[in-house]
Homo-oligomer: A and B are copies of this chain.
Amino acid sequence: MKNRITLKELAKLLNVSVSTVSKALNDSAEISPKTIVRVKELAALHKYRPNPTAVNLKSSKSGTVGVIIPNIANSFFAKVLSGIEAQAQKDGLQVITYISNESHEREKQITEMLASGFVDGVLLAIAEETQRKKDFEHIINLIDYNLPVVLYDRIDFDMKVDKVGIDDQKIFYDATKYLQSLGKKKIGIATTIHHMGVGKLRITGYKEALESKDDFFIANSANPESLKAKLLDLLLNKKVDALLCSDFDSTLMTQRLAYENNIRIPQDLKIIGFINSEIAEFLTPSISYVNQNAAKIGETAMEILSKRINNKLEPSKKEVVIDSLVVHLESTSKS
C-alpha cells in the first residue's frame, strides 16, 4: 500500500509542530484561523487521512462492531445484515461479519475472539446448536465482559442484554385467528424448529388461539422422514384444512405433499408459512408468508448497539419488538 502522509510529515512541510497540525485539522479553538487554513490546504493537497488505527489506539475504541450470523444463506439473515450495514454506515461504524453456521463450537470461537477486544460491541443471533445444547456460557461471558451486546431475532432467552426481534407468539396467534375467521376448523402446525425458542413461541401462539373444544394438530420433527409421516397423517387421516408452517423446510414439504396427494391449495388446504418473499411469491401456488421486516430488525439492533456503545442509553436493557405481518398470496385466498 502506498505510503500515506502522516501528521509528522505534514508538520515538517509546514514548519510547525505535530500538535499544531493535529489541532488545526480538528478545528481547535487554540489555533489561529490562518494556520488552520494553511494546514488544511496542505492536508487536502496530500489527501491526508488520519490513520484510523492510531486514532483507535488513543481513543480505546475500534469503531467496529462484530455481527454473528447463524446462516447467511438464509435470506432473512442476509436482509438483517443489510439493515445492520445501512445503520452502521450512518453511525460511522464498520461491521465485521462472523458466520456461526448454527454451530455451537464455532460460535464459542467467535465469542472468545470478540471478547479479546477488537470490537466495540456485538450483535448476536444465537446458533441453533447452542439452543439445543442449552450451553450459553460463552455468551454470558461475553456479556459479563461489559462488551455491549444486542441479541437480534432469537431473543427468547433469559439474559440481561438488549434485544430486538419479532413477537413470534402473537404472529401465530393472529394467523390462527385469521384462519378461523375463514371458517377453518382443523388448523394444524408444521415445524422442524419446535426445540428452538422462536419455534416454541409459535406453537404457543397457535395453541392459545384455539378454543378449548379444538384439537391440536401438530407435526413436529427435525427429521424429514419423520416430519413427512406426521404431516401425511395430518393431511390424509386428520384431514386438516389449514396449516401454519413454522419454517422453510416444513412449508415446502407441506406444499409438496399437498401437490403429490391431490390436495388443492387453497381450496382444500390453506397455508401460511415462515419463508422468504422471494420464494413464497414464485411457488405454484404462491404461499402466504410472514414478512418479518428483517432489514428493520437489523437497523434497530444496530441503532441500539450504537447508542449503547456511546453510553446514550439508560442502564436498563431494552427489548424492542418489530412489527411483522402476514402477506396474503394464493395459498390463503378465499376458495
Instruction: Tell me the A residues contacting B by CB distance below 8 Å.
Output: 1-2, 4, 49, 51-54, 56-57, 62, 64, 72-73, 75, 78-79, 81-82, 85-86, 94-99, 101, 116-118, 120, 144-148, 252, 255-256, 259, 278-279, 282-284
Contacts and interface: CB of A to CB of B under 8 A. Distances in A.
Oligomer copy total: 2
Nearest to A248: B278
Given A252-B282, A283-B283, A96 B99 contact: no
A284 B285 CA distance: 9
12 contacts: A1-B146, A2-B144, A2-B146, A4-B117, A51-B117, A53-B118, A64-B64, A64-B94, A82-B101, A256-B282, A282-B283, A284-B284
Contacts of A256: 282
Nearest to A4: B117
Contact of A52 (B86, B116, B146, B284): B116
Contacts of A51: 57, 117
A1 B78 contact: no
Contacts of A53: 53, 56-57, 62, 118
B79 A1 contact: no
Contact of A279 (B82, B99, B255, B279): B279
Contacts of A62: 52-53
A82 B259 CA distance: 34
B52 A96 contact: no
Question: At the interface, is chain A mostly helix, strand, loop or mixed?
Answer: mixed
A241 to B, nearest CB: 22
A56 to B, nearest CB: 5
